[in-house]
Amino acid sequence: MLRHLFFGEIAFFEQQKENLKNMKADAIEEISRKLDLLHGYDDQITAAKAQYNNSQMFHALDEAMERGEKIAKEAEKYAPKTPEERREDMIEEATGADKDAGMLSEIMDELSEAAEEMTDEMTERTVPDTATINVLADGVSVGQ
């Protein structure tokens, strides 16, 4: 959009210069005025081009600064940590305070799974199925 404005402005002044060619100038004053208009149009064209170049330069600079900020933010993640930060990270990891990603949390999960498996195995060994109960019940008399 901005580009069209600048080039539209330049096209306008180029057209004005073309119109000067059709303008009659017989007297010295008319020729002088025509030259002044020509130089004025050239100055306007130069100013529009400079303004466009400046806007492009500032746009590129803004984008470069944004990219630099993103890179700096990412670089902070990989910066060497102080001994205190390393200690805090170790504590977080050991206690599982970091979103269930800690070593203690993992051990507790494994322990829970092992306990569940053992409970299932013990239940299977100690609770007979209904067929076994019926066979035992048929073989046992109440008076013995």
Give, as one character, the DSSP assignment of residue 129: -
Write down the pLDDT at residue 97: 64
Type of residue numbered 29: E
Write down the pLDDT at residue 139: 59
Q: For residues 16 and 39, is the Cβ–Cβ distance under 8 A?
A: no
- Chunk the chain into consecutive blocks of 10 residues (it has 144) and report each block's average pLDDT, rounded to whole numbers: 73 91 88 91 92 92 93 84 84 69 71 85 67 58 49
Write down the pLDDT at residue 23: 86
Write down the pLDDT at residue 135: 57
Write down the pLDDT at residue 16: 92
Q: For residues 102 and 95, is the Cβ–Cβ distance under 8 A?
A: yes
Which residues, at least 6 apart from 51, have a Cβ–Cβ distance to it below 8 Å? 6
Give the domain ranges of the chain.
Answer: 1-79, 80-126
